[in-house]
Structure 1
Amino acid sequence: MVYGFWVSRCLQTMAELGLADIIGDVPKTVEELAKATDTHAPSLRRMLRLLSGLGVMVKDEGSQRWGLTDLGAMLRKDNPGSVYGSLMAHGHMLSWQAWGDLKSSLKTGAPSVEKFMGDTFFGYLAAHPEDAAIFNGSMAAYQTLNAPAVVNAYDFSWAKRIMDVGGGTGTLISHILKSHPLAQGAIFEMAHVAAEARARLASMGLKERCDVVDGDFFASIPKGQDIYILSQILHDWDDEKSLRILSNIREAMHPNSRLLIVETVLPGDNTMHFGNLYDMAMLVLVGGQERTEEEYSALVAKAGLKVARIHPTSMPPSVVEVVLA
């Protein structure tokens, strides 16, 4: 555990160098890889040796060429569910400095990354489009894996209109619409993300079935939807800001509407869980938090809502189904 960040840094550097894409389907010698990445071949070989021991790379002893395992192929940009964007985001966008100053967050309760970004995390992304593209790509790749699990866990067939609030570039809503061809969808997003969402939906042939609405979920949310989705949204915010979002959705809901909160539900203490790691990331990066079932129930109750049921998925997040209280 102590040396865990050594491994993550090697994976991040592999992504930064673009090694997985350079190798692709054709294994390369270390000299070819060093030339393509402008690195020192003997030193690069040492990192490849480590990565091969982790099951990411594989060396053919006869040809002395390095290739990718199925696990390593997940670092390719063109691989559905690629972890390339996640590695780049956590290895590049000041995440290292934020984690290095974890003690500051523990003392103040505020995200330490703001000291290095000079802005909030999302404010920084809005002002740095290249970094925003990396981050949005990492979220889209994660949703590529997460979306089918959500569709399998919850029955969307009854809903005619479904809005993904803060739905990014449309990965989740597109999976839902493809599985339920009679439904109409909508994405509610900030303007700079909405533009990318429109282009992506058009490329998937969903332009006529899915609207993209510019807006701010802290201000108001469009009415008239059967299902509102908040996927990986509330964990970005503290209780006060989360309550503002929930209250706006409460105002938009009709009596039969459902709110689906797609988040990792923490199991509690004395349990090692992926969500506990992400909970700390939310602290140092954005000032948000992951929550337990009891914490979600208490939070939505303040907005005049109640948890009806929690639907587990095959991925870490669950679907927390919420109705009017």
Structure 2
Amino acid sequence: MSDHDVVKIRQLAGLATPMALRVAVTLGLPDRLRGTAATAGQLAAEQRLSPIALELLLAHLATLEILEHTGGGYRTTEFGATLCTDADNGLTNFLHFDLAGGRADLAFTELLHSVTTGEAGYARKHGRDFWADLAGQPHLRESFDRQMTHRFRAQVPGIVAGFDWGRFTELVDVGGGVGTLLAAILTAHPGLRGHLVDLEPTATAAGHTFREQGLDDRALASAGSFFDPLPPGAQAYLLCDILHDWDDEHAHRVLARCVQALPADGRILVIEAVAGRKADTEFDLAMLVIFGGRERTVEEFRALGSAHGLTLDAVTDLTDQRCLLEFRVS
């Protein structure tokens, strides 16, 4: 092995830089230092931090070109402004230790436990599982909803255009978040009615989305869990980025509820990154350590559906990240 290879692996494995970025965002340093320079002493006094330790952090952020050192102290660079809260790129949610994304990523410290047991590392790290944590801390639930909306935003046009949603007259969006995708589908297909089911307060936020987009007459948002009975009789039930959050036992429970509500000629539509087709290996590990889930292969989806009397009719590549799997009653 060459010295270059050793250096490269050290760079890949090092925790100093990713943790420095996350601490900087959690402390709000990119926002605080944008346009107005400050010294480590000034910042330490403002936030009750160790001035010596903060200087070490600021110096590394300057090495990374997140900050620049001026005569008046440190200031956020144009590159560093990418980490500001108003950049609208999702990074704040992803990195901040007290928001859903950043808190979830800390579960990677329990990757060995997850690989050993096949279980999520989140509860081992934080004392309760991801969903219980969101339920117990409303600001985490709110930040998770924002994170999902942002992460999905660029995918929505391709999802709407890549499938014939107009085949149906009623669509139930199971665990549909704040309603961004369902609203886009309904807007593109005036003859379609939609019903979204999600937990509170997300369901209430979805209702606001539908009202803001003038869809009150065709879209309904109901508070509920996909582990409980779903609104029956719709032509199609949509599970978008749902099943990969769960192990097989819970995925079967979700599908069972969909099948229970499904009419004989209905369809279950699963939109996800499919392993071996669209899935990203790093994100796949995140599904494991955070939720105990994974990205499944087409054959694994086929087997999952078959256990509930479902036949996988078609797999459609919708975007560069997601596929749609269409199931019917066998």
TM-score by length of structure 2 reads 0.80
Partner of 2:171: 162
CA contact (8 A) 1:83 1:138 kept: no
Residue of structure 1 equivalent to 2:298: 293
Q: Deviations over 1:123-160 (max 9, x none)?
A: 12101111221222111111212222211321212222
Structure 1 residue runs without a partner (length 5+): none
Q: How far does residue 31 in structure 1 lie from its aligned partner after superposition? A: 2.7
Give how far 1:73 is off.
6.2
Structure 1 Cα separation of the partners of residues 90 and 83 of structure 2: 6
Distance of aligned partners of 1:44 and 1:7 in 2 relative to their CA distance in 1, 3 Å threshold: closer
Describe the SS at the equivalent of 1:284: helix
Paired with 2:293 and 2:118, the residues of 1 have a C-alpha distance of 10
Range that drifts further, 258-267 or 275-284: 275-284
| 91, 105, 119: which one aligns with 1:95 | 105
Amino acid at match of 1:240: E
SS class of match (1:163): strand
**Alignment partner, residue 282 of structure 1:** 287
Distance 1:161 1:152 in 2: 18
For each residue in 1:279-306, what CA deviation from the matched residue of structure 2 results, as whole angstroms up to 9, or x when unmatched?
Answer: 2222222121211111111111111112
Question: Which whole-Å CA distance do the structure 1 matches of 2:63 and 2:213 have between them?
Answer: 39
Structure 1 runs of 4+ off > 6 angstroms?
58-61
Q: What are the within-5 Å matches in structure 2 for residues 1-325 of structure 1?
A: 2-3=12-13, 5-19=15-29, 21=31, 28-31=35-38, 38=47, 43=56, 45-52=58-65, 66-69=76-79, 75-78=83-86, 82-88=90-96, 89=99, 92-93=102-103, 95-96=105-106, 98-267=107-276, 275-325=280-330
| Cα distance in 1 between the residues matched to 2:86 and 2:212 | 16
Q: Which amino acid aligns with 1:161?
A: E
Query: Which shifted more, 126-135 or 107-116?
Result: 107-116
Matched residues, percent identical?
A: 29
Partners of 2:308 and 2:15 in 1: CA distance: 40
Give the Cα separation in 2 of the matches to 1:263 and 1:94. 20
TM-score, normalising length from structure 1? 0.81
User: What is the CA–CA distance in structure 2 between the aligned matches of 1:20 and 1:262, rounded to whole Å?
Assistant: 36
1:175-225 CA distance string (max 9 Å, x none)? 212222332222111233212322333334333331011222112111222
Aligned residues: 311
Question: 8 Å contact 2:245–2:293 — kept in the other structure?
Answer: yes
Task: Provide, for residues 84-118 of structure 1, a one-character-per-residue CA deviation record: whole Å limited to 9, x for no partner.
Answer: 2222346642632x221222222222212212332
User: What is the RMSD of the two structures over their aligned residues, measured on CA atoms?
Assistant: 3.2
Name the aligned partner's letter for residue 93 of structure 1. R
How far residue 238 of structure 1 moved from its aligned partner, in angstroms, is 1.1
Unaligned runs of 5+ in 2: 1-8
SS in 2 for 1:28: coil
